[in-house]
Amino acid sequence: MKLNTTLLGLALLAGFVIAPARPSADILEQVIVKVNGDIITKTEFEARQVAALRQRNQQLTDEAAIKKAIEEVTPQLIVEAVDELLLIQKGRESGLKLGDEQFKNIVENIKKENKIETEEQFQAALKQEGMTLEDLRKAIERNMLVSRVQQTDIVGKIQVTEEEERQYYNTHQKEFEIPAEITLRELLVAIPADARGVNVAREEEAQARIEEIRKRALAGESFETLVAEASEAPSKANGGLIGPVRQSEVAAGLREELDKLAPGELSPPIRTDKGYVLLKVEQATNAAPMPYEQAREQIADRLFDQRRREELRRYLKKVRAEAVIEWKNAELKKAYDQYLSAHGES
């Protein structure tokens, strides 16, 4: 991670993240917004900002760069923070909560996945993350509530019909294609190099050897047998076999050489960084339209995800309109309103 956390901390403390609110009774925790009576604090929101900057993996070396980056991420983050709280509230209204046994099982799975064998190791891991067991429980419960509400109120109501899938396939056929592929066999004659670089004599020796092997192959000797006899590539153990690989993944210069060859034909010696190589085309297929039945799962996933995002936007717009949102920070309210307006959600 290329983030100067000391500078970031200074920027937060200097008020670059959130304009200071007027003094109130909340001395220890500055409230930035109340959503149906529940609060989001300055500390909680700053943690979101820090996490967002870390995910960007940018090199932020001065306060000006940090301030600019924070200003860029803040509008989306404040909307996400409010929306998350609204979903959590919906989950609580439905009577959802994280049970003791459920939490215990989740903790055990966390320990198992992270190979934590003792309670002391687990507590040390929590401390390293700056968390208590109660913090962990609250985080898990919040995630569970958000997930359950989305599943119940949004995802569970989405349906995609076969007619819609076929219509999508007919209008997006170019997006569903079986890519062109090629299967090769290679034979490498390596050119050893020392600290001074490649030895000219060894280069000439390798070139003469690869030419001789090619003559033998063209004269009718089995290329697979020649690979077993002479190749110095790791693929020797597999008869020199490579692929099938997508033709689009083959280096452009090499693809030009291979495009000249039909299945069964042998390339001229090709100089690579490892030495001289011969390539024989075993099989080549052209790109072709993917049949509907083969593409159907991808289509269903696309349509479902598209519908899920649309339904989530509608759902959140509705619960926002029904909510009582009391802003304690004018700058964040402005960022919130601007983001919703820019995305057609206000």
- Tens-place pLDDT, residues 258-291: 888 899 999 999 998 889 999 999 999 888 999 9
What does the radius of gyration of the chain's CA atoms come to, in whole angstroms?
31
Alpha helix ranges (H) inside the chain: 5-13, 42-56, 63-93, 100-113, 119-128, 133-149, 162-171, 200-218, 223-230, 252-259, 292-322, 330-342
Q: Which of 110, 143, 103 is nearest to 119 (CA)?
A: 110
**Per-residue pLDDT, 194:** 66
**Per-residue pLDDT, 250:** 85
| pLDDT tops 60 at residue 29 | yes
Read off the tokens for 236: 């020797």
Which residues are CB-neighbours of 284 under 8 A, at least 6 positions away?
A: 180, 181, 182, 183, 247, 258, 262, 263
Provide the residue ranges of all domains of the chain, joining segments of one domain with +. 1-93+318-346, 177-289
| pLDDT tops 50 at residue 9 | no
Give me the residue label for tokens 């010696």. 269
**Per-residue pLDDT, 108:** 93
Q: Which residue has the higher pLDDT, 280 or 56?
A: 280
| pLDDT tops 50 at residue 123 | yes
Helix (H) or strand (E) holding 284, with range, is strand 275-285
What is the topology classification, in CATH, of domain 177-289?
A: Chitinase A; domain 3 (3.10.50)
> Any idea which of 193-197, 200-204, 282-286 has the lowest mean pLDDT?
193-197
For residue 6, name the pLDDT band (cuts at 50, 70, 90).
Answer: very low
Provide the 10 A C-beta neighbour count for residue 67. Answer: 15
For residue 192, name the pLDDT band (cuts at 50, 70, 90).
Answer: confident
In a 13 Å sphere around the CA of 142, the CA atoms on its Cβ side amount to 12
**Per-residue pLDDT, 252:** 79
Are 266 and 280 within 8 A, CB to CB?
A: yes
For residue 197, name the pLDDT band (cuts at 50, 70, 90).
Answer: low
**Per-residue pLDDT, 27:** 46
**Per-residue pLDDT, 116:** 92
DSSP class of 250: S
| pLDDT tops 60 at residue 16 | no
Provide the 10 A C-beta neighbour count for residue 101. Answer: 8
> Any idea which of 31-45, 122-136, 206-220 has the lowest mean pLDDT?
122-136
| pLDDT tops 80 at residue 209 | yes
Read off the tokens for 207: 């070139």
Q: CA-to-CA distance for 179 and 37, rounded, in angstroms?
A: 55
